[in-house]
Chains A and B, each alone.
Chain A
Amino acid sequence: MKANKQSGPKSHPILRQLPIILLSMVFGVVGQLLLKTGADSMGPFDPAANGLLASLAQMFGEPAVVLGYPFFIMGTLFWLVVLSRLDLSYAYPFLGLNYLLIALTSWLILGEDVHAGRWLAISLIVVGILIVGRGGHTPAHQAVKDE
């Protein structure tokens, strides 16, 4: 119970919002991967030469593309929920976690060799994110009320 006590208007809501931020990022990345997979197996895509309708049919005949868009849209919706709750200048830096997610998945799942320079860069980004989070959050509209 004692952890619930808030000291002043500043709080650190990121721990509560982190699941939705991560959800948004994971849906976004999976959507991107599906669209990329679909685009690769689709063959030449040329609406100017083949006509718009034929190109749309070609695109939506590709299961990975059809599956990719909903993922992409879900990622965006979750991000809008995050934006509805947090300052943009507080929430946006957390998107840097994408670099960590991508490095981890390429290392653990794809078996790629992620070299030291990239881990150094990712460490810096994560430290930066932790600093932003450490500063806490006073929503802009609440700040106006408090003053």
Chain B
Amino acid sequence: MVIALILLGVLLSVAGQTCLKAGMNRMGAVSSVVSKEFLKLPLAVLKQPFILAGAPLYISAAFVWLLVLSKVDLSYAYPFLGLNYVLVALVSGLFLGERVDGYRWTGVGVILLGVIVMGRYG
């Protein structure tokens, strides 16, 4: 049961990131963080449907995670967070048209290992 909740949290978080990225792809690269463009960013992103969809997904992911932590030990729940990295790579390739090359998959694999070690021995 808790596993289902953990997976729900992971999925919400990955869906949120994917929506945020899809929204920013439509806006184009922000040139500088010391510019009018950046000052207008909070209003500009509110006009992007993907970002408006992404933000609540992201926030619900945080709520689900708090719910998970209220039920199980952090060290039990932690390794599942490694799934985020794998799913983000998968979804970026499938839905965002990104070229996820061997470096990215290898790197994600090593990070996954690190998150698992963190849960077990951290």
A131/B29 in contact, CB under 8 A: no
What is the bound-complex CA distance between A121 and B33, given in angstroms?
33
Closest to A83 in B: B24
Q: Are B98 and A84 in contact (CB under 8 A)?
A: no
The contact string, 1 if C-beta is below 8 Å from chain A, for chain B 9-47, is 000000001101100110111100100001001100100
The count of residues in chain B whose C-beta lies closer than 8 Å to any C-beta of chain A is: 47
CA distance A102 to B112 in the complex (A): 18
Please indicate the chain B residues that have their CB under 8 angstroms from the CB of A20 in the complex: 33
Q: Is the CB of B113 within 8 A of A124?
A: yes
Q: What CA separation (Å) do A93 and B92 show in the bound complex?
A: 12
Near B by CB (< 8 A), chain A positions 57-83 give 73, 77-81, 83
Bound together, the chains give a CA A126 to CA B111 distance in angstroms of 7
Binary contact track A130-143/B, C-beta < 8 Å → 1, others 0: 11111110101101
Using A20-B33, A84-B27, A128-B111 as known contacts, say yes or no to A89 and B89 having CB atoms under 8 A apart: yes
With A20-B33, A84-B29, A93-B107: A121-B88 Cβ-Cβ less than 8 Å: no
The interface residues of chain B lying within 8 Å CB-to-CB of A143 are 99
Could you jot down 21 A-B contacts, CB within 8 Å?
A20-B33, A77-B42, A80-B24, A84-B30, A85-B29, A85-B30, A88-B88, A89-B88, A90-B104, A117-B118, A117-B122, A121-B114, A121-B118, A122-B114, A124-B114, A128-B106, A128-B107, A128-B112, A128-B113, A132-B104, A140-B25
Q: A80-B41, A93-B111 are in contact. List 18 more A-B contacts (CB 8 A).
A: A20-B33, A73-B42, A78-B33, A84-B30, A87-B92, A92-B89, A93-B85, A99-B118, A117-B118, A118-B121, A125-B111, A127-B114, A128-B114, A129-B107, A131-B106, A133-B107, A134-B107, A136-B103
Across the A-B interface, the 8 shortest Cβ-Cβ residue pairs: A135-B103, A117-B121, A124-B114, A128-B110, A132-B107, A128-B111, A89-B92, A125-B114
Binding site for A on B (CB under 8 A): 17-18, 20-21, 24-25, 27-30, 33, 38, 41-42, 45, 51, 84-85, 88-89, 91-93, 96-104, 106-115, 117-118, 120-122
